[in-house]
């Protein structure tokens, strides 16, 4: 399986990192080795001193497709989840400065937290509420209504480049409020008030 990630999909997050608003979705990949095993802690890697959490709504693909039209995109996924796109912000800033690819900052081992999935019929996809708590402090408070590109538009866009396969996961971008993690933090994500994951930082 592969993990397809969308960057800069929420205007307030673009502003907090002083990024340019893109004219098309920003896309990058994580390999399956990036997945943090369930119930395992996240170990801050030695190569970074500025690991950020980014909570994101996840979409799980359940059917092969390429060049999918947005109006048929809903047929290619049936589950919604929540996860974290861990980012080595210091490494990413160096990559950005030099115009280099982001993989070292985004695709390293453990950088993809994939929480529980729920049937998409449980949600109003245009207004899914999701939150991230860092040690019981609410740090990110998102709603998919603020996405620049909606889920079906993202599927149409990314499937022009990548064949989507059953089991692939799309990270749909993070809202404002990203920040640094510290040793012993507990990160807890909720999707419509239901806990979708919990991760300890080591």
Interaction between residue 168 and Mg ion (CB under 5 A): no
Which residue, 65 or 178, is less far from Mg ion as judged by CB?
178
The sheet that has 77-85: what strands, in order across it?
Answer: 26-30, 3-7, 169-171, 55-61, 77-85, 112-119
C-alpha to C-alpha distance for 46 and 72, rounded to whole angstroms: 44
Which residue, 55 or 65, is less far from Mg ion as judged by CB?
55
Q: Which of 48, 52, 6 is nearest to 26 (CA)?
A: 6
- Burial code (b: 16+ CB inside 10 Å, e: under 16) for 148-168 equals bbbbbebbbbbbeeeebeeeb
Which residue, 65 or 144, is less far from Mg ion as judged by CB?
144
Interaction between residue 85 and Mg ion (CB under 5 A): yes
Q: In the complex, which residue's CB is closest to Mg ion? A: 85
Contact criterion met (CB below 8 Å) for 181 and 187: yes
Task: Give least dist CB 160 to Mg ion, A.
Answer: 20
Interaction between residue 54 and Mg ion (CB under 5 A): yes
- Out of 58, 174, 197, 199, name the contact with Mg ion by CB under 5 A: 174
C-alpha to C-alpha distance for 186 and 17, rounded to whole angstroms: 24
Interaction between residue 152 and Mg ion (CB under 5 A): no
User: Which of the residues 21 through 40 are near Mg ion (CB under 5 A)?
Assistant: none
Which residue, 60 or 65, is less far from Mg ion as judged by CB?
60
Count of residues interacting with Mg ion (CB under 5 A): 3
* Contacts with Mg ion, residue ranges (CB under 5 A): 54, 85, 174
């Amino acid at each position: 399986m592969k993990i397809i990630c969308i960057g800069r999909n929420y205007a307030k997050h673009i502003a907090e990192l002083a990024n340019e608003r893109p004219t098309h979705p920003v896309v990058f990949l994580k390999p399956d080795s990036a997945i943090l095993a369930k119930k395992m802690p996240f170990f801050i890697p030695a190569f970074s001193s500025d690991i950020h959490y980014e909570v994101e709504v996840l979409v799980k693909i359940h059917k092969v497709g390429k060049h999918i039209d947005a109006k048929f995109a809903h047929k290619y996924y049936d589950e919604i989840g929540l996860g974290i796109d861990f980012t080595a912000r210091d490494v990413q800033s160096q990559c950005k400065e030099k115009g280099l690819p982001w993989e070292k900052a985004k695709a390293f081992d453990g950088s993809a937290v994939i929480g529980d999935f729920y049937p998409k019929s449980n949600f109003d996809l245009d207004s899914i509420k999701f939150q991230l708590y860092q040690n019981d402090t609410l740090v990110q408070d998102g709603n998919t209504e603020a996405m620049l590109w909606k889920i079906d538009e993202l599927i149409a866009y990314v499937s022009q480049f990548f064949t989507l396969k059953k089991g692939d996961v799309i990270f749909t971008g993070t809202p404002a409020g990203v920040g640094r993690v510290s040793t012993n933090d507990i990160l807890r994500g909720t999707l419509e008030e239901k806990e979708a994951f919990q991760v300890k930082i080591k």
